[in-house]
Amino acid sequence: MLTYIVDVHAQGGATPLGPEDLGTSIYLGPCFGYNSVSHATQKLATFAGDAYCPYFEGGTGQGFYVGLTYEHHLGPKIEESTSSIIGRVIYSMYPGSMKQQGDKFPSLIPDPVDPTGWSFTTTETEHTIDITYNVLALEVMYKQNVAVDIPLGITAGPTFEYPLQKTILQEYNILTPNNVQFAKSDKYTYKNNDRTVVVKDGDIENAAAIRIGLKFGIQYEVIIGEGYYIVPAVYYNWSLLNVKSDEDYRINAFQVGVDIRFAL
């Protein structure tokens, strides 16, 4: 059931106790929102066996989604309907960043007292990963409102998501001191005056071809004009599949968004 904002001085038309028949059961419109992303892993190793590659223990990120919503209200009379089928096609971004403290190494630096000699210092390092994971998603959800006169609804359904971009940037950085650089190797590229090793910059290896998730949440329907209404909602998008076939690594998201739906 939909909530109405009505003129209290009106002599007729829709009221909360006697809403008018909206005349159609199909609504279409844009949707957009924010993703709070969790990259859930307890032991992610992008290049097992490499000295530059530790195990990472999960990360977070912030993204957004935008797309198109289709809603078909169920039942013979839309003014009495409390349920519907909702479909969406959306573009969604699930970025993520991970950090892991590196080891402390003894390093040789020029002796500040004797320019011809060398002295030891302790070098602190850090490993970082930045994930880009953008998808084209198809969602099919069932909505059930609490009651005819209560426009608060519960939604749930599957989401099928095709990754358009799934890349990783892994780096190994010297934090301190400022006068230490990496000794170069032909295996890697370097930047930041040779204080950063670019370990990996490219596609995620062994990445799954599809992300399948279960999405469930709560929405609230508010009519703001004849033939259209807005629907703020919160969802949790839980991944059923791993991002990589060889790692226990999933991307989940808490989503906050708004649909604007127009009668067809």
Distance of CA 134 to the CA centre of its chain: 8
Cα Rg of the chain (Å, integer): 26
Phi (first) and psi of residue 195, to 5 degrees: -100, -5
Q: Mind listing the pLDDT tens digit for each residue in 139-198?
A: 999 999 998 888 999 999 999 999 999 999 999 999 988 888 888 888 889 999 999 999
For residue 98, the model assigns a pLDDT of: 92
Contact 154, 147 (CB under 8 A): no
In 3D space, the residue among 146, 131, 162, 148 whose CA is nearest the CA of residue 60 turns out to be: 131
Q: Mind listing the pLDDT tens digit for each residue in 199-217?
A: 889 999 999 999 999 999 9
- Is the pLDDT at 13 greater than 60, yes or no? no
- Output the six-digit token pair for 228: 């259209």
In 3D space, the residue among 106, 138, 139, 136 whose CA is nearest the CA of residue 120 turns out to be: 106
- Output the six-digit token pair for 262: 């127009």
pLDDT tier at 14, thresholds 50, 70, 90 = very low
Which residues does 16 contact at the CB level (< 8 Å), separation at least 6?
3, 4, 6, 149
Distance CA(121)–CA(111), nearest Å, equals 10
Kindly report the average pLDDT of the chain as a whole number. 86
The CATH T-level fold of domain 3-7+16-263 is Porin (2.40.160)
Query: How much of the chain, in percent, has pLDDT values that exceed 70?
Result: 85
Angle at 48 between CA 43 and CA 52, to 5 degrees: 100
* Element containing residue 23 per DSSP (H, E): none
Pairing label, strands 3-4, 222-225: parallel
Q: Mind listing the pLDDT tens digit for each residue in 48-59?
A: 446 567 788 889
Q: Mind listing the pLDDT tens digit for each residue in 219-252?
A: 999 988 888 899 999 999 999 999 998 888 999 9
Q: What is the mean pLDDT of residues 58-68?
A: 97
pLDDT tier at 15, thresholds 50, 70, 90 = very low
Contact 172, 127 (CB under 8 A): yes
For residue 145, the model assigns a pLDDT of: 95
- Is the pLDDT at 69 greater than 80, yes or no? yes
For residue 226, the model assigns a pLDDT of: 81
Distance CA(183)–CA(205), nearest Å, equals 27
Would you state the torsion angle of the CA atoms of residues 238, 241, 247, 248, taken in this order, to the nearest 10 degrees?
A: 40
pLDDT tier at 62, thresholds 50, 70, 90 = very high
- Is the pLDDT at 88 greater than 80, yes or no? yes
DSSP annotation of 183: P
Distance CA(187)–CA(31), nearest Å, equals 45
Q: Which residue's entry shows tokens 């969790």? A: 38
Higher pLDDT, 129 or 9: 129
Boundaries of every domain in the chain = 3-7+16-263
